[in-house]
């Protein structure tokens, strides 16, 4: 498939920058880039849009993961263990994607997002650096975190919206740590989920490699900007961004469900 004309390509590059920024801050960049691809290319198969988005997003998310890991102390063992778990479960989810209608998934995800938003809004201390503990992770919580990586990784492969947000909230609740620490682990796991799903889409021939490579460079630029903001401002930025993403995503999914 030939590349679009310069004006359209510029629009897509701008969308990839914005998506990279959103993914680096809290997650949800696919909500920008996937609809944009489908609008610009009306004949594009949804699977190709998803696969091309994964190729684009994995580079931005990996960049954010590296930048976060350089500045934020996390349990490196847990971060490393999350990679094979998240990647393999995301691949399974991508393989199963055709068996489950998005019309079934959307209402469940909308309810979960609204519940997350209300919980975070009503508990201002949740995820704050001052409220987070510094104790070692207990074995039971470590195992629960690995289960969460697997479940959310499968979700990312089969549907996807809000993966980064769900990872941050779940890890914060399970491990009693700050949003910033959870976001760091989430970037590592989300890179793995993107990679696992990308392998499946690539095998199925659902990736536009040339366009995805161009958009990946733009996604990296957006990721650097978003990571710099979060690392400079701290946990408060993640909290605000999370609440904004909840509202936008819930609204977008509700619109897709009923209109």
Taking CA atoms, 217 is separated from 12, 40, 81, 202, in Å, by: 12, 19, 28, 19
For the chain, residues with pLDDT lower than 50 are: 133
**pLDDT score of 84:** 97
Q: What is the C-alpha to C-alpha distance for residues 165 and 147, in angstroms, rounded to an integer? A: 16
Q: What is the C-alpha to C-alpha distance for residues 116 and 119, in angstroms, rounded to an integer? A: 5
Quick check: helix, strand or coil at residue 138? coil
Q: What is the C-alpha to C-alpha distance for residues 3 and 63, in angstroms, rounded to an integer? A: 25
What is the DSSP secondary structure assignment for residue 56, as one 8-state letter? Answer: H
Q: What is the C-alpha to C-alpha distance for residues 93 and 2, in angstroms, rounded to an integer? A: 30
Q: What is the C-alpha to C-alpha distance for residues 57 and 128, in angstroms, rounded to an integer? A: 27
String of DSSP letters for 147-184: HHHHHHHHHHHHT-TTHHHHHHHHHHHHH---HHHHHH
**pLDDT score of 240:** 83
Report H helices in the chain: 6-25, 30-40, 46-71, 76-96, 102-122, 139-158, 163-175, 179-203, 209-233, 235-258
**pLDDT score of 102:** 63
* pLDDT per residue as tens digits for the range 140-162: 888 999 999 999 999 888 877 77
What is the DSSP secondary structure assignment for residue 98, as one 8-state letter? Answer: G
**pLDDT score of 12:** 96
**pLDDT score of 110:** 79
Structure tokens at 64: 């954010």
Q: What is the C-alpha to C-alpha distance for residues 87 and 95, in angstroms, rounded to an integer? A: 12
Q: What is the C-alpha to C-alpha distance for residues 200 and 192, in angstroms, rounded to an integer? A: 13
Q: What is the C-alpha to C-alpha distance for residues 220 and 215, in angstroms, rounded to an integer? A: 9
Q: What is the C-alpha to C-alpha distance for residues 87 and 190, in angstroms, rounded to an integer? A: 9
Q: What is the C-alpha to C-alpha distance for residues 47 and 198, in angstroms, rounded to an integer? A: 11
Structure tokens at 154: 């499968």
Vertex 226 angle, CA 97 and 221, to 5° = 85
**pLDDT score of 101:** 64
**pLDDT score of 119:** 76
Quick check: helix, strand or coil at residue 238? helix
């Amino acid at each position: 498939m030939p590349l679009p004309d310069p004006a359209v390509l510029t629009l897509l590059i701008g969308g990839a920058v914005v998506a990279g920024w959103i993914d680096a801050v809290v997650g949800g960049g696919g909500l920008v880039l996937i609809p944009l691809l489908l609008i610009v290319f009306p004949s594009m198969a949804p699977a190709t849009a998803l696969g091309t988005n994964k190729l684009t997003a994995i580079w931005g998310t990996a960049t954010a993961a590296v930048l976060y890991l350089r500045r934020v102390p996390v349990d490196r063992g847990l971060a490393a263990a999350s990679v094979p778990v998240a990647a393999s479960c995301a691949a399974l989810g991508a393989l199963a994607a055709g068996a489950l209608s998005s019309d079934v998934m959307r209402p469940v995800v909308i309810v979960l997002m609204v519940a997350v938003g209300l919980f975070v809004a009503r508990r201002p201390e949740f995820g704050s650096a001052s409220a987070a503990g510094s104790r070692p992770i207990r074995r039971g919580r470590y195992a629960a975190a690995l289960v969460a990586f697997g479940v959310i990784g499968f979700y990312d492969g089969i549907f996807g919206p809000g993966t980064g947000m769900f990872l941050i909230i779940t890890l914060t609740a399970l491990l009693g740590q700050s949003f910033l620490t959870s976001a760091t682990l989430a970037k590592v796991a989300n890179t793995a989920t993107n990679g696992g799903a990308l392998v499946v889409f690539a095998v199925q021939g659902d990736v536009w490699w040339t366009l995805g490579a161009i958009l990946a460079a733009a996604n990296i630029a957006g990721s650097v900007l978003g990571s710099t903001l979060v690392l400079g401002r701290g946990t408060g930025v993640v909290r605000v961004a999370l609440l904004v993403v909840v509202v936008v995503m819930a609204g977008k999914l509700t619109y897709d469900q009923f209109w």
